[in-house]
């Protein structure tokens, strides 16, 4: 299928609108160009966040001060957290691949509100800029961690206001993206695409949209309360004025736990697409996949208390949150089961995106099981605030969302750019990245279990061996990352031209040329069968 040869309409990359140069991008309301704006901004901030992480690991290579003092370390993990959570993994898959592919996968020409889509990117950039300003203005960078826990967040002399308000603006950007996707999916599916004929990636974006919409305002108001607390001394969370810091934690995690599902649900969607495409087989248990996505989004609202098991709650609350935490793992397990079953008796094509999906399942399962350990009350008391927690959420957030992000990048790269990347280097990069990842975060489970607390620049001599391994892993991981990114960028120029369907995928994006034309479809397709129509 070399359909692009016959089509006169220019691709979205070549299209000339009324603006020139960079303005053709930053004033564009085309969902595909906005997706790339997000991609390049997110990759930039990911690079900054990863470099901060690397420097922290170098600091931890030996006890005592290695390359930075305690205060710099506090500032580093704070900025690392804010950037990685609010500016990388939360917008990551929805804003990049969701923006690019959602309209195409449901047979639409754009999202429902293209201008609001562009506005959300501007809000994103504004939010990150505010966070960056907080590093250089005032009396020093924020040092509270990305959680801005009260009462420290309004007592520290660090420059909190721009950082907190920046996170608020980033939340607003996230709300607008979610809102846009929800309306798009409700109103703009191609004729014949009933709900249960919709591919799974749009389904996960749908569930994510609801979480973005219904959870983000809670952190919005909480962050505004912190702003008010610092400027007006209202006393919402200040014990000396009658406020309750624990209430802050409740409000914060009411958003920030569902936010974990904003990160992981689209990742699961992308993995579902990759696995079915490379197994050349219909996804196993499509309806269960849809139901489990919705179940995760729903139950995910009611588990926030498991971040606060040691903060002080009633016994009933503890049991309830622990039970719900175990329940939310069930739909995730269903998804893993269905992915494996999809491969069973499929004709598997071993390509880079498929390897990424395999790596995803592996690290996601370790992350998930360690989450169950943390979700059990007795173990949590021992492991709370140790490196075990750090290992757990990096396995989920970096291992889950990050691996899915790179998997999606290698899966849809030919569609987005019209070129194929060098597969050998892509695979080498993946292997190095994977080895680095396990070496970096694996020992943290052990260190945490032995009692090494998180968020200290220093540690006892007994933790030295594990930290050396972990820090070495960070260097390997960073090299793997560099190979992957350089390979993709080099392929933009040198890669072979990709045809419209290099992997034999069945969803709608593979029926249009690579790169897609400005209007996506010459004629809106009529859908007559399910999304994964393999024989």
Partner 1 sequence: MNMAADTHRDDLASKTGMWLFLFTEMLLFGGLFVVYTVYRYRNPEAFHLAAKELSVFIGTLNTIILLTSSATIAMSITAIQKNNKKLALVLAGITILLGLAFLVNKYFEWGEHIREQIYPGSSVLALRGQGDVLFYGLYFFMTGLHALHIIIGLVFIGIVTGKITRNKITFDNYVLLENSGLYWHLVDMIWIFLFPLFYLIT
Contact mark string toward partner 1, 215..254, x via CB under 8 A: -xxx-xxx-xx--x---xxxxx----xxxx--x---x--x
Backbone angles phi, psi at 47, to 5 degrees: -60, -45
Site for partner 1 in 169-188 (CB under 8 A): 175, 179-180, 182-183, 186-188
Backbone angles phi, psi at 419, to 5 degrees: -130, 155
Residue from 43, 113, 190, 282 binding partner 1 (CB under 8 A): 113
Q: Give me 43's structure tokens.
A: 């990759």
Could you tell me the smallest distance in angstroms from the CB atom of residue 395 to partner 1?
A: 30
**Which one of the spans 79-87, 107-115, 258-266, 384-392 is the region binding partner 1 (CB under 8 A)?**
107-115
Site for partner 1 in 25-84 (CB under 8 A): 27-30
Of the two residues 243 and 266, which places its CB atom closer to partner 1 in the complex? 243
Picking from 147, 126, 170, 161, the residue whose alpha carbon sits closest to that of residue 232 is 161
Residue from 295, 409, 518, 527 binding partner 1 (CB under 8 A): 518
Q: For residues 429 and 426, give the distance between their C-alpha atoms in angstroms, rounded to a whole number.
A: 5
Q: For residues 455 and 384, give the distance between their C-alpha atoms in angstroms, rounded to a whole number.
A: 12
Could you tell me the smallest distance in angstroms from the CB atom of residue 351 to partner 1?
A: 32
Residue 419, beta-bridge partner list: 497
What contacts 274, CB < 8 A, 6 or more positions away?
Answer: 353, 354, 356, 357, 407, 408, 411
Could you tell me the smallest distance in angstroms from the CB atom of residue 240 to partner 1?
A: 9
Q: For residues 140 and 91, give the distance between their C-alpha atoms in angstroms, rounded to a whole number.
A: 27
Of the two residues 47 and 114, which places its CB atom closer to partner 1 in the complex? 114
Could you tell me the smallest distance in angstroms from the CB atom of residue 114 to partner 1?
A: 4
Residue from 7, 14, 17, 424 binding partner 1 (CB under 8 A): 17
Of the two residues 112 and 295, which places its CB atom closer to partner 1 in the complex? 112
53-86 per-residue burial string, b: 16 or more CB within 10 A, e: under 16: bbbbbebbbbeeeeebeeebbbbbbbbbbbbbbb
- CA dihedral defined by 251, 393, 50, 467, rounded to 10 degrees? 130
Residue from 3, 9, 13, 24 binding partner 1 (CB under 8 A): 24
Of the two residues 27 and 319, which places its CB atom closer to partner 1 in the complex? 27
- In 3-state terms, what secondary structure has residue 195? helix
Of the two residues 128 and 219, which places its CB atom closer to partner 1 in the complex? 219
| Site for partner 1, rule CB under 8 A | 15, 17-19, 24, 27-30, 109-110, 112-116, 175, 179-180, 182-183, 186-188, 213-214, 216-218, 220-222, 224-225, 228, 232-236, 241-244, 247, 251, 254, 518-519
């Amino acid at each position: 299928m070399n359909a692009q040869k016959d089509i006169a309409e220019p691709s979205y990359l070549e299209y000339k609108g009324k603006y020139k140069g960079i303005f053709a991008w930053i004033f564009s309301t085309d969902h595909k160009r906005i997706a790339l704006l997000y991609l390049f901004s997110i990759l930039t901030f990911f690079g900054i966040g990863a470099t901060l992480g690397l420097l922290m690991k170098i600091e931890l290579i030996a006890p005592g001060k290695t390359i930075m003092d305690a205060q710099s370390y506090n500032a580093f993990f704070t900025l690392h957290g804010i950037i990685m959570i609010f500016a990388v993994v939360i917008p990551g898959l929805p804003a990049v691949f969701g923006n690019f592919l959602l309209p195409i996968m449901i047979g639409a020409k754009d999202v429902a509100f293209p201008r609001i889509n562009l506005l959300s990117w501007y809000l994103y950039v504004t939010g990150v800029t505010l966070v960056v300003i907080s590093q250089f203005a005032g009396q020093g960078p924020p040092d509270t961690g990305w959680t801005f826990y009260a009462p420290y967040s309004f007592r520290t002399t660090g420059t909190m206001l721009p950082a907190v308000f920046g996170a608020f603006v980033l939340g607003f950007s996230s709300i607008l993206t979610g809102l846009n996707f929800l309306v798009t999916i409700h109103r703009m599916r191609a004729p014949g695409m009933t709900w249960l004929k919709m591919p799974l990636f749009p389904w996960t974006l749908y569930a994510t949209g609801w979480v973005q919409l219904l959870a983000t305002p809670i952190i919005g108001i909480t962050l505004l309360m912190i702003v008010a607390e610092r400027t007006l001394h209202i006393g919402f969370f200040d014990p000396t004025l009658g406020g309750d810091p624990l209430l802050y934690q409740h409000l914060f995690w009411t958003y920030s736990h569902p936010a974990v599902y904003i990160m992981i649900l689209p990742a699961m969607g992308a993995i579902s697409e990759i696995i079915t495409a490379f197994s050349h087989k219909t996804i196993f248990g499509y309806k269960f996949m849809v139901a489990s996505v919705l179940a995760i989004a729903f139950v995910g609202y009611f588990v926030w208390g498991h971040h606060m098991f040691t903060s002080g709650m009633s016994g009933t609350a503890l049991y309830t949150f622990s039970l719900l935490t175990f329940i939310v793992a069930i739909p995730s397990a269903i998804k893993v089961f269905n992915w494996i079953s999809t491969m069973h008796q499929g004709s598997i094509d071993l390509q880079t995106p498929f390897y990424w999906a395999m790596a995803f399942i592996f690290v996601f399962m370790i992350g998930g099981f360690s989450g169950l350990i943390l979700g059990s009350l007795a173990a949590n008391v021992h492991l709370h605030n140790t490196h075990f927690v750090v290992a757990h959420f990096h396995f989920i957030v970096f291992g889950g969302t990050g691996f899915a992000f790179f998997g999606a990048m290698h899966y849809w790269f030919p569609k987005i750019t019209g070129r194929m990347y060098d597969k050998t280097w892509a695979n080498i990069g993946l292997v190095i990245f994977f080895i680095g990842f396990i070496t970096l975060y694996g020992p943290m489970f052990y260190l945490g279990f032995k009692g090494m607390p998180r968020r200290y620049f220093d540690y006892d001599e007994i933790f030295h061996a594990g930290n050396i391994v972990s820090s070495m892993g960070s260097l390997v991981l960073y090299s793997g990352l560099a190979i992957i990114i350089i390979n993709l960028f080099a392929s933009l120029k040198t890669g072979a031209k990709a045809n419209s369907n290099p992997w034999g995928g069945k969803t709608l994006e593979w029926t249009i040329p690579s790169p897609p034309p400005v209007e996506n479809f010459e004629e809106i397709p009529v859908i007559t069968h399910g999304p994964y129509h393999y024989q």
